[in-house]
């Protein structure tokens, strides 16, 4: 199974990057093929409908779209900004949501966050689910919020707290198993019968969706 992993933070010392790197390592050990991306690769301007009409998607959004198209599943660690989704990530979702077909549709997503605060960014993750689900992503019910993240890692990048480390491993294993099952219908490398069923699902989602018109 093909997994795209990234932290939605540009900061050099990003705690979310440390967390997603750890999660990506767990996924690799479970035989997933992992593309660990740097969010700098998805640099893009603020969403502007005129720019979209005149020039289409900017290069950073196209790069994210290409890598989403390749992936069956996503591991995304994102900071909580002011109790909500990070604006940088929301902007990236908004741009890529204008591509057709919407590249998030049918992708399994596991959300993580890391924060020095006692809440670990969980409030931001609840907000982050909303636009992703609006774009047709299948966001896993469990989410992993790492509190006191500035003190949580050892020098090898592992979690010091063994119970937390085990919870991450278990949750991620459950996610990868479900994502693998879903990928046989919605994934990128599916036999023709499944591809036909995927087209049916996509068409049904397009028809149902009020936010994402079928074209344009
Ligand atoms: C924060 N931070 C923060 N933390 C939190 O737990 N809840 C919050 O609402 C916020 N709000 C917030 C707003 C803004 C604008 C910034 C810059 C920061 C702190 C944040 O969790 C901390 O800086 C993390 O280390 C950011 O993630 P990275 O860059 O380390 O991955």
CA distance 107 to 128: 15
- Which atom belonging to ligand 1 lies closest to the Cα atom of 10? 29
Least confident span in 19-23, 72-76, 106-110, 182-186: 182-186
Cβ 148 under 6 angstroms from ligand 1: no
Q: What is the pLDDT of residue 199?
A: 72
Cβ 115 under 6 angstroms from ligand 1: yes
Dihedral, CA of residue 99, residue 105, residue 107 and residue 113, to nearest 10: 70
Cβ 16 under 6 angstroms from ligand 1: yes
Tokens, residue 200? 């049916």
The 10s digit of each residue's pLDDT in 63-109 is 999 999 999 999 999 999 999 999 999 999 999 999 999 999 999 99
| Contact criterion met (CB below 8 Å) for 159 and 165 | yes
- Which atom belonging to ligand 1 lies closest to the Cα atom of 149? 25
Q: Which domains does the chain have, with CATH numbers?
A: 2-208 (3.40.50.360)
Q: Quick one: residue 31, left, alpha or beta (phi over 0 = left, psi -120 to 50 = alpha)? A: left
DSSP H or E run through 139? strand 138-139
Provide mean pLDDT across the span 2-15.
Answer: 98
The model's pTM: 0.90
């Amino acid at each position: 199974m093909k997994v795209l992993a990234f932290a939605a933070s540009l900061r050099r010392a990003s705690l979310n990057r440390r967390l997603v790197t750890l999660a990506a390592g767990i996924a690799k050990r479970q035989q997933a093929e992992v593309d660990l991306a740097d969010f700098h690769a998805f640099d893009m301007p603020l969403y502007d409908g005129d720019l979209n009409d005149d020039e289409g998607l900017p290069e950073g959004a196209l790069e994210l779209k290409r890598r989403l198209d390749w992936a069956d599943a996503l591991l995304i660690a994102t900071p909580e900004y002011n109790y909500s989704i990070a604006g940088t990530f929301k902007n990236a979702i908004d741009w890529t949501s204008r591509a057709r077909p919407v590249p998030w549709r049918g992708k399994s997503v596991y959300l993580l966050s890391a924060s020095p605060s006692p809440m670990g960014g969980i409030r931001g993750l609840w907000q982050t689910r909303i636009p992703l689900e609006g774009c047709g992503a299948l966001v896993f019910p469990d989410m992993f919020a790492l509190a006191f993240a500035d003190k949580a890692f050892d020098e090898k990048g592992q979690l010091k707290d063994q119970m937390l480390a085990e919870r991450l491993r278990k949750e991620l294993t459950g996610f990868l198993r479900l994502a693998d099952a879903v990928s046989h219908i919605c994934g990128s490398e599916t036999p023709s019968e499944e591809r036909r069923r995927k087209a049916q699902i996509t068409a049904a989602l397009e028809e149902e969706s009020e936010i994402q018109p079928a074209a344009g």
